[in-house]
Amino acid sequence: MAAPDLRSDLDLTLDELQQLLQLAADVKRAPGRFSTALQGQALSLLFEKPSLRTRLTFELAIQQLGGYAVTSIGMIGDREPLKDMARNLDRWTQGIVARVFAQSTIEGLAEWSRVPVINALSDLYHPCQALADVQTIQERFGRFEGLKLAYVGDGNNVAHSLMLTAGRLGMHVAVATPTGYEPNAAIVAQARAHGAAITVTNAAAEAAKGAAAVYTDVWASMGQEAEAEERKRIFAPYQVNSALMAHAAPDAIFLHCLPAKRDQEVTDSVMESSQSAIFDQAENRLHAQKALLLMLLK
């Protein structure tokens, strides 16, 4: 690989991203073939933010590949300098997975560690989620070229990773947000510089028009609780409901990284509809992360 870490989506080249998706499909189809691939290897899991899907899928992924995980919950660098923590962990384990508040924490771990560091979520990126998302889209449609992905809501870390990952694979990524909540302009420019077709708009219906997949996330992420009530008012026109889904392609799927606040950013009826692929996404976190671990640690 071009880089030993997954700090952001661009640490995977386009060729590596395509190889990873093929490997994820192979792992999903025949998990027994890989059951000893990482035998004896250990993975450090560091969580500044609570997690269901990320923690369980990484723990299961390394265990089902023959290794094991050690999990630590708490602020990274709170009791000792981050550079000291990183240089302890790389003496004991073969990889570090970190779910953090600030991207600078990921960068610091990668700078000081001699083993691969995987960004399991930061304020700027959510690359592991995007890998599962594109695997889910590929399973449903068999391709990326010519498809549109509409992301509606807050222009956050999930939106950033979708632009960098789905966009590089050939999807047209349309992001619709309220004014003032657009995705990071530098990351939009970065995605476009890598050949991605990106539309940023304040019109949800425009983004959803003809989309093969309509995606949303919570309106207030962890750390934004003080803004929750104001955001509910501002984001109300961006709810994914049956009316918005009607603008998408007839065979469109609904995606959400979960957890969801039902009847806020998305209606319960959309989440429970035949178009919903949210639990396929959640399952694919396991398979995509197995493929990632195989590429980084083997």
Active site residue 285: yes
Angle at 128 between CA 145 and CA 227, to 5 degrees: 105
Per the CB < 8 A criterion, the answer to whether 279 and 19 are in contact is no
Among the options 41, 129, 138, 275, which is catalytic? 129
pLDDT digits (tens, 9 = 90+) for 157-170: 999 999 999 999 99
Among the options 217, 231, 275, 281, which is catalytic? 217
* pLDDT above 90 (res 137): yes
Residue 143 sits in the same domain as residue 264: yes
Active site residue 217: yes
Total domains in the chain come to: 2
For residue 3, the model assigns a pLDDT of: 42
Residue 117 sits in the same domain as residue 135: no
For residue 123, the model assigns a pLDDT of: 97
Q: How confident is the model at residue 221 (pLDDT cuts 50, 70, 90)?
A: confident
CA distance 246 to 156: 25
Active site residue 29: no
The values of phi and psi at residue 26, to 5°, are -65, -45
Report if residue 4 sits inside a domain: no
Residue 240 sits in the same domain as residue 211: yes
Among the options 7, 53, 55, 126, which is catalytic? 126
Among the options 7, 285, 287, 289, which is catalytic? 285
pLDDT digits (tens, 9 = 90+) for 236-269: 999 999 999 999 999 999 999 999 999 999 999 9
Active site residue 154: no
Active site residue 275: no
Residue 277 sits in the same domain as residue 290: no
pTM over the 0.85 mark: yes
Active site residue 87: no
Residue 64 sits in the same domain as residue 89: yes
Among the options 90, 94, 160, 257, which is catalytic? 257
Residue 184 DSSP one-character state: P
Q: How confident is the model at residue 44 (pLDDT cuts 50, 70, 90)?
A: very high
For residue 4, the model assigns a pLDDT of: 84
Report if residue 214 sits inside a domain: yes
CA distance 167 to 22: 18
Q: Which domain holds residue 202?
A: 128-281
For residue 2, the model assigns a pLDDT of: 37
For residue 220, the model assigns a pLDDT of: 86
Residue 261 maps to which CATH number? 3.40.50.1370
Q: How confident is the model at residue 224 (pLDDT cuts 50, 70, 90)?
A: confident
Among the options 7, 53, 55, 99, which is catalytic? 99
